[in-house]
Structure 1
Amino acid sequence: MDFLSAIIMGIIEGLTEFLPVSSTGHMILTAHLLDLNTDSESVKTFEVIVQLGAVLAVVVLYFRKFLGMFDFRRQTLRSLRPRLNLLHIIIAMIPASLLGVLLRDVIKQYLFGPQTVVYSLVAGGLLMIAAEKFHPRATAETVDEITYRQAFIIGIFQILALWPGFSRSGSTISGGLFARVSSTAAAEFTFLVSVPIMLGATVVDMYSSIDQLSSGDFPVFAAGFVTAFIVAMLAIKTFLGLLKRFSLTSFAIYRFVLAAVFFFIIL
């Protein structure tokens, strides 16, 4: 991988990681168009590194919110309207984290591939359309109004994101709508929950592949990391604005188009 490829991949990761359009699908398609060997350890590790850059963007943008999560004063399990705190994140993390650890090898063996990504792009798009059409009226308009029960429901839907191409934000925003959370609140909650999960996955993947890399890989990785960080910061703010102007169905249609592109270019 050269610097130009690293920057292009960083841009794609930063743009798509937190949008309900599947960053995995875009990364696979981009790697194919750039003629990168996605089976090599260096490319696999690079994809983890740029994902970490996108995660760091969330940490920077929501730094005060993360600090506030550790304030448990007047926030108990019995509170009907507890302000967002660390317990919300833990509750939402549990379902996908447990299954992710148990099924990690199965997912990597059977679900990481262009064909399965096409299926998940379509399935995720259909879920988003269904959530938008049939969701009940929201009772939580902001992240601070999300209850522990709603956090758990969103966490259940996050399990779908273990299927590459389904999209973490797409599945969790849909789950949030069904749980009576507004789309913007569900999106922000998704950003916050993604940080510990993606950090954990990054550490595991880097630990298992770090000895396969050479010193020459790191400057290229750094270029992709910085690019993903900058672009993700811009994309997160832009996406929250887009959610107020465009429906989830618009993103679902884009997913269907991307699935068709996959079918004709890669499969």
Structure 2
Amino acid sequence: MELLMIIKAILLGLVEGLTEFAPVSSTGHMIIVDDMWLRSETFLTQQGANTFKIVIQLGSILAVVVTFKDRFIDLLGLGRINKLTGSGQGRLKLTQVLVGLIPAGVLGVLFDDYIDEHLFSTSTVLIGLVIGALLMIIADIIGPKQPKTQTVDQISYRQALAVGLFQCFSLWPGFSRSGSTISGGVLMGMSHKAAADFTFIMAVPIMAGASFLSLLKNWEYMTMDALPIFIAGFISAFVFALLSIRFFLKLINKIKLLPFAIYRIVLALILYIVFF
């Protein structure tokens, strides 16, 4: 039974790692998986399942930190990334990241309990998947064909704030943080790659802060018996998130958002048939 639980943990880490930063809604996928596995007595108790989801999310966050390690070192003033920008001028600033974090951060604090209590369900995920897909399609159609902001180092404070406002949509489960912010960035004149880079960088502080707070609240459920499950899930999420991020960043300017929008709509149709 323990081996089966570890296999399930690896598979759930895979789901988290592959979907956390792709514009398909990891929260939506995990809510769906939650209905199938996490609440099963053969896997974890509800409290243990909640803790497990926090742990594997931390694995995904670590993958972003590793991918953008030079960028984070520079943002913290601990080094320079001239090899990425070509000069010491015009680099992304920490204050721009903070500006992008403010809108969703404020709303998240104000409505966190309401969101947890009323919005985490398969039906709300369905709504988020479809509306988020429509936003992504609109961004691809309306967004400039030759965006002026080609790299994350060229974004303005106005664009950072606008992306932060679009991030507020991601508080609705199923909408997707990366889907909403990349769409917002494209609509504001950023290339898909620049918007994706800014999205991933901006995700680390807000996700890490929320995850660590949640982990502290659920620390009592980090039992020695469940530790192998948590470790397996964490490593799985880290590895698959690392692969997913690097693959996504190489392709996003070429494939854009439409394929992910189609996937979301197909997934929503399947979920509607299965659950309703």
TM-score by length of structure 1 reads 0.92
> Which of 212, 216, 221 lines up with 2:225 in the alignment?
216
Q: What residue number does 1:23 align with?
A: 26
| 1:110 aligns with one of 90, 115, 118 | 118
Q: Deviations over 1:240-262 (max 9, x none)?
A: 12313313111101000111122
Whole-angstrom CA distance in 1 between matches of 2:244 and 2:199: 14
Residues in 2 aligned to 1:18 and 1:72: alpha-carbon distance in whole angstroms: 26
> Are residues 39 and 179 of structure 1, via their aligned partners in 2, closer, same or farther at CA, if it must alter by over 3 Å?
farther
Structure-2 residue corresponding to 1:36: 39
1:2 counterpart residue number: 5
| 1:121 aligned residue | 129
Residue in structure 2 matching 1:240, options 243, 249, 253: 249
Contact 1:11–1:231 (8 Å) recurs in 2:
yes
Q: Give 2:193's aligned residue.
A: 184
From the superposition, tell whether residues 223 and 179 of structure 1 become closer, same or farther in structure 2 (CA, over 3 Å): same
Q: Does 1:66 align with 2:34?
A: no
Please tell me the residue identity of whatever aligns with 2:121. Answer: G
**Residues of 2 paired with 1:12 and 1:255: CA distance?**
15
Measured after TM superposition, the shift of residue 34 of structure 1 is 3.4
What's the offset of the Cα at 1:44? 1.0
Distance 1:153 1:39, change over 3 A: farther
**Residue in structure 2 matched with residue 76 of structure 1 by the alignment:** none
Tell me whether 1:88 sits opposite 2:92 in the alignment.
Answer: no
Instruction: Tell me the SS of whatever aligns to 1:236.
Output: helix
Q: Work out the number of aligned pairs and report it.
A: 260
Tell me, yes or no, if the aligned pair for 1:121 and 1:165 is still in contact at 8 Å: yes
Q: Which runs of 4+ in 1 moved over 6 A?
A: none
Q: Provide Cα deviations, 1:100-142, integer angstroms capped at 9, x if missing partner.
A: 0110001011111100000000000000011111123522100
Gap change, CA 1:2 and 1:72, over 3 Å in 2: closer
- 1:52 pairs with 2:58: yes
Q: Matches of 2:90 and 2:156 in 1, distance apart?
A: 6
Measured in 2, the distance between the counterparts of 1:35 and 1:48 equals: 13
Q: Give how far 1:35 is off.
A: 6.3
Q: Is the 8 A contact 1:150 1:179 kept in 2?
A: yes
